[in-house]
Amino acid sequence: MSLLDISGVSKRYGQQAALDGIDLSVPARSRTAIVGPSGSGKTTLLRIIAGFESPDSGSVTLDGQVLADGPLIAPAHRRGIGYVPQDGALFPHLDVAENIGFGLERGDAARNDRIAELMDMVELDRAMLTRRPHELSGGQQQRVALARALARKPALMLLDEPFSALDAGLREAVRKSVARVLQQAGITAILVTHDQAEALSFADQVAVLRQGRLAQVGTPHALYWQPKDRDTALFLGDATVLHAELSEGFATCALGRIPAETAARTGRVSVMLRPEQIRLSPATPGQEQAGACHGEVEDIEFGGSLCAITVAVEANGARERILVHASSLDLPAPGTRVRLDVIGKAHILVR
């Protein structure tokens, strides 16, 4: 059952359409990532859900409760939606304990226990309770901000690029622990980010936002392997997009005749292949004529566990560059001829 329903939400700032007819539903206890380049409207969408902004049209419903109906909105402070802003936005005049307890009743006897419990939940040392925000590292600030938002047991948690200010190693650790905390607490979460890798690894459901419109919504796996269009395909990861001729369930392209997802379509289409779908092997003389696809290694980008290899393939007089991922063991030298084999099927792009 979906907890949050957004339907037909649009918002303009003057001539500029920030959001254009957004429909999205978020299942209870799930994690949804809204991902898009900057200026795609993702923060505006988050602010509309939080109640800091009103949509021009459309509605937002949380657990049957109407939060926004066109420009009429429910007050943000009564929505019971948790919010973790980009840099934590901890109150600089309060210590950690008071920051976490900000949303809790002052007179409550259990308040201190609750604050301590929240500190444990976000894996912070209780000794930090008396620290001021400026005495904390970025990751600690982010954890305090999460604890502060968790204190009121929100049904829904909004995370506005909470990891973007952290350095890479820390970012992954904090992301994992945030996901775990939310999972344990059974809280539905919406993460807004511009980082596709973060979106794919954090969420059960990913929504790609582009120029104020939802390009595609689905599970990370579905979005990665079955993007509707070229832009989404390239936004979510490296890919090779090739022109192909479809017939009898096969796509004929620069890589030769490879199985297509469907036999239902025929004609000229664009197909997408992820770099990990292509396997390289040394070319053996004589096979080049036997129908197997061959190319010349153009460039190698060493990446530790995974290296990106660009292979130039000649087909019908045109030169296509194919991106391949390979282990850094047994890398071919630039200029050598290699054989390319496709694993799995070619995905057909809708547009």
Partner 1 sequence: MTSQTSPFPANRMFATQALPLRRDRQLGSKSLFGLAWLVSLAALLPLGFILWITIQTGWETASALIFRPRVAELLVNTVLLEALTLPACIALAVALAWLTERSDLPGARLWSWLAVAPLAIPAFVHSYAWIGLAPGMHGLFAAMLVSVLAYLPFLYLPVSAQLRRLDPALEDAAASLGLAPWRVFLRVVLPQLRIAICGGSLLIGLHLLAEYGLYAMIRFDTFTTAIVDQFQSTYNGPAANMLAGVLVLSCLGLLALEVLIRGDARYARVGSGAPRPVTRRRLGRARVPALLLPLALAGLGLGIPAYTLARWLAAGHGAAWQAPELAAAFGETLLYALSGALVTTLAAAPMAWLSVRAPGRLQRMLEGSHYYVGALPGVVVALALVTVTVRIAPLYQSVATVLLAYALMFLPRALVGLRSGIAQVPVELERAAVSLGRRPLLAILSVTLRLAAPGVAACMALVAMGITTELTATLMLAPNGTTTLATQFWSLTNELDYAGAAPYAALMIVLSLPLTALLHAQSRRASGQ
C-beta separation of 235 from 208 below 8 A: yes
Alpha carbon of 198 to those of 9, 38, 124, 163, 207: distances in Å?
25, 15, 23, 9, 13
Q: What minimum distance in Å lies between the beta carbon of 260 and partner 1?
A: 35
By CB under 8 A, is residue 306 in contact with partner 1? no
Out of 106, 134, 268, 351, the only residue in the binding site for partner 1 (CB under 8 A) is: 134
Pattern 54-93, partner 1, x by CB under 8 A: x-------xxxxxxxx-xxxxxxxxxxxxx-xxxxxxxxx
CB 271, CB 347: distance < 8 Å: yes
DSSP classification of residue 16: E
For the purposes of burial, counting CB atoms within 10 Å of the CB of 14, is it exposed (0-12), middle (13-18) or buried (19 or more)? exposed
Judged by phi (left if over 0) then psi (alpha if -120 to 50, else beta), residue 335 lies in left
Measured from the CB atom, the residue of 137 and 287 that comes closer to partner 1 is 137
202 near partner 1, judged by CB under 8 A: no
Return the closest-CA partner of residue 188 out of 3, 23, 60, 42.
3
Distance from C-alpha of 139 to C-alpha of 116, rounded to nearest angstrom: 18
Binding residue for partner 1, selected from 8, 108, 112, 152, defined by CB under 8 A: 152
Only one of the segments 145-153, 208-216, 256-264, 323-331 lies at the binding site for partner 1 (rule: CB under 8 A); that segment is: 145-153
Regarding 319 and contact with partner 1 (CB under 8 A), the answer is no
Restricting to residues 19-58, which ones interact with partner 1 according to CB under 8 A?
A: 29, 50-54
Binds partner 1 (CB under 8 A): choice among 119, 136, 253, 260: 136
Residues contributing to the site for partner 1 (CB under 8 A):
29, 50-54, 62-69, 71-83, 85-93, 102-103, 121, 132-134, 136, 138, 141, 145, 148-155, 158, 165, 184-188
